[in-house]
Structure 1
Amino acid sequence: MDRLLVMSVFVAVAEEESFAGAARRLAMSPPAVTRAVASLEAHLGVKLLNRTTRYVRVTEAGQRYLDDARRVIAAADEADEAAAGINAAPRGHVTLTAPVSFGRLHVMPCVVDYLARYPETEVSALLLDRVVNLVEEGVDVGVRIGELPDASFKALRVGQIRRVLCASPDYIARHGAPTTPEQLAHHQIIAATSVSPMVEWRFEREGEAHAVRIRPRLTVTNNDAAIAAIARGAGIARLLSYQVAEHLAAGSLQVLLADYEPPPMPIHVIHREGRQASAKVRALVDLLVAHLRAEGSLQSPAAGVPGQVSMPIANMD
């Protein structure tokens, strides 16, 4: 039994959730795929897959073996590419992860460029608003926003983003601009959260922390909805600078209380390769780093940004 081959077959079946789908992916016959998985289960003495006429799913033992098999296959691919030489053309499958909005705006254009440059590569992009464990979930490259608690990965800093309060010029003209965080209690707040009817926003000025609890007038479950609401003059929202960069540049939104912004959050490209990164990962990391470092909206300082306003409070309607 070719262990690496049957591992690859099992991974394909688990990911496709279908023997027929795995057969098409691997250019094998369905009976050959079935025999390979059966021989692997017989060798291990463990049931890896639950099969019915409608679906194929991994068992609990199968999920653990799937994670390990992915790592073994990735290590074998690395060894092949290292033996082929550092100048080998990138080829094979790469999995990357990034936050949803950031991935859509800044990572996907780079992925499209990567696929166009290297026709023998394939990419799976996991755009998720949670921290993905690269090792456990078989991910090669990640884009992380915020401080990195785990120093076990190779990390390249590519920029920073800020938490900004924004409102439209129309809202500011009608309601005025707050000059301290405490004055937000007198404004219409739009919050992108579904956790609690009360929101606590933290601010910082000259090393002094400010925490303000606010009851939002409108609560939405994603940032795009919050941006749409404040662009129409519905109130003030707290967002990440990259999410509103185009609106700020166009003047349709303006930044409030910039002097009270907390410190910027760093952006890193991380990967889990060893001493010698594979060509496919190295090429993707290089493209991501170059693209993100060239993006001006990710390099801006915390103060003096376009769209920032500071004005006296007008009478409330």
Structure 2
Amino acid sequence: MADVRDVNLNRLAVFVAVVEAGSLTGAGERLGLAKTMVSKHMQRLEAEVGASLLVRTTRRLNVTEAGRTFYDASCLVLRAAEEGLSAIAGEVGPLRGTLRVNAPIDYGSLFVAPALVEMRRAHPELEVDLQCVDQYVDLVGEGIDVAIRLGRLADSNYRAVKIGEFVKWMVASPAVAGADGEHTELATLAGMPYVAVATLPRPLSVALEHRDGRKDSLRYPSAFLTNTATACRAATLAGGGVALLTDFSIAHDVAAGRLVRLLDGWTTAPASIQAIFPATKFPSRKVRVLIDAVRAQWEATAGARSEVV
């Protein structure tokens, strides 16, 4: 087995860049190195670790099984080094390195992306990798520094910081809602076409509570199903039916009259918006700055959401 003292740890950054870029040329462009130098680093790294990490052909570059395992370990080493440097640097000075963020498509587009733009204005040496998907990912396995999660969190070893709360409203396009849409009764909605996000645990069920404490629910036998909240909103705007959508994603549509809020006074129970990140010995300053920036973006729109309650 190779000894860590025989491995040039600087080559780990080159190896990670090769895997993520998918080619020696792409890694060289990212690192500012010639392709021949990148190739030489990879040859020497393979000799140092005693294993084949990459398979090169004339048309493509593939990562071996050993290479994939070593890539995951290399990401952890580099992240730990970045966190240690951040801790030593203290609370002043520009942020550097790469910040990898995961967020739901709608919340990531509306709040996380603008927050990251503001961060880069203040810290131009910071590299950003924002991944917006509506499925949960393994933070450690995917090399994610921080993820935004909506709703209840499953038990895990991740650390969590609350950013805010949201609720969902029953809404429809004016054509579907009718002139008195905001006064529609829950029983009436049960007979209307429904648009839902298929990835939710119970996509056909609606559980609501009134501001006076009353609770009620209904279940649709079928629905127009889609795998993202963004597509669900688009289908609702197009007149596909009624939908249960997050207040932050549709407040501007309701204010502009593109959607009508149904069931005056009824919402889902408040749910949390949280930032989660791997528990580490050295809390990342980049993560803390991002959380503050996202929270500022969220609070800046609080007034717009409350105006249509």
| Residue 26 in structure 1 maps to residue 52 in structure 2 | no
Cα distance in 2 between the residues matched to 1:202 and 1:221: 17
Opposite residue 76 of structure 1, the aligned amino acid is: A
- 2:7–2:45 contact (8 Å) kept in structure 1: no
Structure 1 residue 249, shift from structure 2 partner: 1.8
Q: Deviations over 1:43-85 (max 9, x none)?
A: 3332222222222122222222111101101111222233333
- For structure 1, the 5+ residue unaligned runs are 309-317
> How many equivalent pairs are there?
299
Does 218-227 or 14-23 show the bigger shift? 218-227
Out of 194, 200, 205, the residue aligned to residue 201 of structure 1 is 205
Measured at CA, do residues 299 and 44 of structure 1 come closer, stay the same or move farther in structure 2, by a change above 3 Å? Answer: farther
| Residue 267 in structure 1 maps to residue 273 in structure 2 | yes
Out of 291, 294, 299, the residue aligned to residue 293 of structure 1 is 299
Cα distance in 2 between the residues matched to 1:175 and 1:194: 31
- Corresponding residue number in structure 2 for 1:315: none
Cα distance in 1 between the residues matched to 2:260 and 2:39: 60
Q: Deviations over 1:213-242 (max 9, x none)?
A: 3333x4555444443443354531222222
Opposite residue 163 of structure 1, the aligned amino acid is: K
Question: 1:1-317, aligned counterparts within 5 Å?
Answer: 3-150=8-155, 152-173=157-178, 178-180=184-186, 182-193=187-198, 200-205=204-209, 210-216=217-223, 218-220=224-226, 222-257=228-263, 261-272=267-278, 274-296=280-302, 306=308
Opposite residue 264 of structure 1, the aligned amino acid is: P
TM-align CA RMSD: 2.9
Q: Deviations over 1:21-53 (max 9, x none)?
A: 212222223222222212222233322222222
- For structure 2, the 5+ residue unaligned runs are 1-5
Does 60-69 or 112-121 show the bigger shift? 60-69
Structure 1 residue 111, shift from structure 2 partner: 0.8
Does 134-143 or 257-266 show the bigger shift? 257-266
- 1:158–1:293 contact (8 Å) kept in structure 2: no
Give secondary structure in 1 for the equivalent of 2:204: strand
Q: What TM-score, normalized by structure 2, do the two folds share? A: 0.84
Cα distance in 2 between the residues matched to 1:248 and 1:299: 10
Q: Deviations over 1:114-153 (max 9, x none)?
A: 1111111110001111112221211111111111223533
Give secondary structure in 1 for the equivalent of 2:162: strand
Cα distance in 1 between the residues matched to 2:106 and 2:42: 39
Cα distance in 1 between the residues matched to 2:11 and 2:216: 57
Cα distance in 1 between the residues matched to 2:110 and 2:130: 13
Cα distance in 2 between the residues matched to 1:174 and 1:294: 32
Cα distance in 2 between the residues matched to 1:71 and 1:38: 22
Cα distance in 1 between the residues matched to 2:171 and 2:140: 38
Does 89-98 or 161-170 show the bigger shift? 161-170
Cα distance in 2 between the residues matched to 1:46 and 1:147: 43
